[in-house]
Amino acid sequence: MERIFIERAGQFIGQEVRLMGWVQRLRALAKTTFIVLRDCSGSVQIVSPPAQVAALGMKLDDVVEIRGRVREESRSKSGFEIDLIEARILNPAAHDLPFNSSSDCSQIGMDVVLDHRPLSVRTEAVNETFHVQAAILNAFRSFLTKNHFTEIVTSKIVAGGTEGGTNLFEMKYFERTAYLSQSPQFFKEHGVAALERVFETGHVYRAEPHATSRHLTEYYSLDLEMGFIDGPEELIALERSLLAEIFELLNQRFGESIKRRSGAILPDMTRTPTWEFAECLARLKTAFGRTDLVDDLDPEGERQLCELAERECGVPAVFVLGFPLAARPFYTHPRGENGAAQSFDLLFRGLEITTGGQRLHARTTLETALRRKGMRPDDFAGHLRMFELGMPPHGGFAIGLERLTAQVLGLANVREATMYPRDRNRVTP
């Protein structure tokens, strides 16, 4: 008999079916034992005589094969149950598991959860977290493809850093030294010179000794770059539309769960305001008495700005535009004559999830910017040469997938939205 997925079992009322999956719950009563079986498509309750299950020694998280008859059951969420005919244990789980797939991982230590990742991802909430993340990734690709962007795949082994060689993981590369890429920025810009609109999804690496709930040394970045722009406002408009489409899809598929876990369904991001950096400092001073911020925002300032945006615009998000140029990478385009940059961050539910902006597109201005930062243009000769091939005015942004997932679901730690987190302390499993 061919195996079917659980989600299809309701099509076989009165018929025998063959299922495979994990034992998620097991409840033995005097006359009946109830087994909740889970596979990648869903879960179903199986009804069995107690002796039949006891004879097998079946327990939670065993991998099993079930043959049973599908029966209508109005009291079941799925509308049916399965009466067990025969069961077979394909592989038993250990007797001393630290938790089970029916456990609440929020009540278990983070290290224990991560050390037993496949088991934790079988739990309902964590499983859904990665389905939400997959939906974000698919929607990102779909939106950009519809808008004339071409997906590119670029190397993560590089000869130097995009921002002067800082925060890089060094690696031995045959007879010389290479590094893990901290950003696909240069490759994206080269892509603009070839394809005008490009995007990439992939891991990036930052050798930063953080140990916070918001930082990882390896994270998954959703990057895009587009040519022929007049300024960062066009990028902001694009991201508003992009996130509006992604959030609408997430609300449709996961809305009830998102509301339960984060406190609210996802907002209409087309209503997200754009505030100049100087304006943000003034707002923080007026509303919260903050006078300590000068050239950047701290985590508390990010939370406070999102609170103000929600009060005024009904959206817990704000684009902050015009950060001081001195604190931005050398390739950032200046904004006016007052030392500001054509760069922005998007803050969402109290956390920065995007950095972007307009880039310099002429070789001469890039060389000047490098010297101003105390860097040698000769060290970037290969990159600068690409700007002689016909580079249009351009810009782009990057979204951290794990951070966005965490903010969508109201997770306290970005590691909860990372299958196998890498930080200064963890390189296994």
- State residue 80's pLDDT score: 94
Which amino acid, 57? G
- Dump pLDDT digits (tens) for 215-236: 899 999 999 999 999 999 999 9
CA distance 289 to 84: 66
Average pLDDT over residues 89-115: 96
d(CA 387, CA 366): 9
Residue-level pLDDT at 164: 66
Using the 8-state DSSP alphabet, how is residue 73 labeled? -
Task: Using CB atoms within 10 Å of the CB of residue 359, give its burial: 0 to 12 exposed, 13 to 18 middle, 19+ buried.
Answer: buried
The pairing of beta strand 16-28 with beta strand 218-227: unpaired
Parallel, antiparallel or unpaired: strands 157-158 and 176-180? antiparallel
Cis status, amide bond into 329, omega within 30 of 0: no
Lowest mean pLDDT among 9-13, 120-124, 161-165, 251-255: 161-165
Q: Domains of the chain, with CATH numbers?
A: 6-91 (2.40.50.140), 124-417 (3.30.930.10)
Q: In what order do the strands lie in the sheet with 317-321?
A: 150-151, 197-205, 218-227, 394-400, 351-359, 343-348, 317-321, 274-276
Torsion angle of C-alpha atoms 152, 167, 398, 393, degrees rounded to 10: -80
Report the Cα–Cα distance between both ends of the chain, in Å, rounded. Answer: 37
Q: How many CB atoms lie within 10 A of CB 87?
A: 22
Structure letter (DSSP) for residue 101: T
pLDDT tens sequence across 358-401 = 999 999 999 999 999 999 999 999 999 999 999 999 999 999 99
d(CA 328, CA 341): 8
DSSP string, 118-185: HHHHTSHHHHHHHHHHHHHHHHHHHHHHHTT-EE----SEESS-TTSS-S-EEEEETTEEEEE-S-SH
Tell me: pLDDT of 267 over 90.
Answer: yes
Angle at the Cα of 89 (from 88 to 90), degrees rounded to 5?
110
Is the confidence at residue 307, as pLDDT, over 80? yes
The pLDDT value recorded for residue 212 is 86
Q: What distance in Å separates the CA atoms of residue 14 and residue 374, rounded to the nearest whole number? A: 77
Mean pLDDT across the chain: 96
Q: What is the pLDDT, as a whole number, of residue 395?
A: 98
d(CA 120, CA 338): 51
Amino acid, single-letter form, for residue 64 = V
pLDDT given for residue 208 in this prediction: 85
Prediction pTM value: 0.95
CA pair distance 391, 174, nearest whole angstrom: 33
What's the average model confidence in pLDDT over 165-191? 93
Amino acid at the residue 235: L
16 contact partners, CB below 8 Å, separation of at least 6:
1, 67, 68, 69, 70, 85
Kindly report the number of other CB atoms within 10 A of residue 319's CB atom: 24
For residue 372, what are its two tokens?
């101003």
> Residue type at 169?
F
**Measured distance CA(43)–CA(113) in Å, rounded:** 22
The CB-based long-range contact list for 177-186 (8 Å cut-off, 24+ gap) reads 180/156, 180/205, 181/154, 181/155, 181/156, 181/157, 181/205, 182/206, 182/207, 183/221, 183/223, 183/398, 184/154, 184/221, 184/223, 185/223, 185/329, 185/331, 186/162, 186/383
Go through the chain and tell me how many residues it has.
429
Cβ 193 vs Cβ 390: under 8 Å: yes
Q: What's the average model confidence in pLDDT over 245-255?
A: 98
Q: How many CB atoms lie within 10 A of CB 218?
A: 17
Helix (H) or strand (E) holding 1: none
At 160, the pLDDT band (50, 70, 90 cuts) reads: confident
Q: Which long-range contacts (CB under 8 A, 24 or more apart) does 122-125 make?
A: 122/22, 122/24, 122/38, 122/61, 125/261
